[in-house]
Structure 1
Amino acid sequence: MNSIHDFLRKTLGGLTTAYYVRHFLFGLVLYGGVVWMSVQTGNLRHIPLFTLCQFLYPYSRFVYESVVGFILGRNIVLVNPIVMLVSKIFTITLCWTMSVFIAPFGLAYLYFYHSKQERQQQQQPEQ
């Protein structure tokens, strides 16, 4: 039972609360829209999938931002604010709709990262 708790702590609890809540709220706008459209059309069978996408979205966004950060490094890109807003909406929508496929990569990374951090802390001598 302890190993399950450890696994969940390292994966689902691997993001900071502020990061998770911020992206959860951004995703909530999209979630509300697709659920509202589903209710209006009477097609409710996809709501469980939409709910799963909503809870996995912050992990999907974490993967996206990690990849973009790796590619861009510490460079700053200056663009028109309208272009930036459109690209943000596009990437939010992409990460949200594909979160079921993208988020597992982020969860795996978080698990291995936190496991490594834990091992390093255990190997350090007490001061």
Structure 2
Amino acid sequence: MKHFFRTVLTSLQPSYLVRQYVFGGIVALVFYFISRQSVPDLSPFVLILNFLLYPYAMFVYDSLIGLLMGENIWFTNGILAIIWGIFKVVIIFIFSIFIAPLGIAYLYFTYR
């Protein structure tokens, strides 16, 4: 079990993990403060679990987009790109509990 955690935690670049944890933390805080006012029974455990799994779910997304799109560069409207980025981060954060096990399994079996 110790080997599993060491393999999974050290397989991603530290800069990638820090960046994704910052984005995940921002989304978790926004959800936490919104839920305190509107949905008081939202479990902080779910937010913490999604926060911890978010970088691995984003890794799955980045890997799939890299596989499908390759090294293409898209020129688009900046406002549209920001809106798409926020939407993508929120959706992946919400479903990270389901997506992240795929990324964790891929990283474990690739780097073991």
Alignment TM-score, normalising by the size of structure 2:
0.93
User: Match for residue 119 of structure 1?
Assistant: none
CA distance in 2, matches of 1:48, 1:104: 17
Secondary structure, counterpart of 2:9 in structure 1:
coil
Question: Cα deviations across residues 27-79 of structure 1 (Å, max 9, x unaligned)?
Answer: 11110011112223461442100110011111110100100010001111111
2:107 aligned to which of 87, 107, 110: 110
User: Match for residue 12 of structure 1?
Assistant: 9
**Identity rate, percent:** 35
The answer to whether residue 46 in structure 2 is matched with residue 38 in structure 1 is no
The answer to whether residue 44 in structure 2 is matched with residue 47 in structure 1 is yes
Q: Structure 1 residues 77, 31: CA separation in 2 closer, same or farther (over 3 Å shift)? A: same
Q: Structure 1 residues 97, 79: CA separation in 2 closer, same or farther (over 3 Å shift)? A: same
Q: How much is the aligned-residue C-alpha RMSD, in angstroms?
A: 1.3
The one-letter amino acid paired with 2:100 is A
The one-letter amino acid paired with 1:29 is I
Alignment TM-score, normalising by the size of structure 1:
0.82
Deviates more, 1:30-39 or 1:88-97: 30-39
The answer to whether residue 82 in structure 2 is matched with residue 98 in structure 1 is no
CA distance in 1, matches of 2:37, 2:48: 17
CA distance in 2, matches of 1:112, 1:42: 39
Count of residue pairs the alignment pairs up: 112
Give the conservation status (yes or no) of the 8 Å contact 1:12–1:107. no
Give the conservation status (yes or no) of the 8 Å contact 1:38–1:47. no
Q: Which runs of 5+ in 2 are unaligned?
A: none
- 1:16 CA displacement: 1.6
The answer to whether residue 65 in structure 2 is matched with residue 68 in structure 1 is yes
Secondary structure, counterpart of 1:11 in structure 2:
helix
User: Match for residue 74 of structure 2?
Assistant: 77
User: Match for residue 59 of structure 1?
Assistant: 56
Q: Which runs of 5+ in 1 are unaligned?
A: 116-127
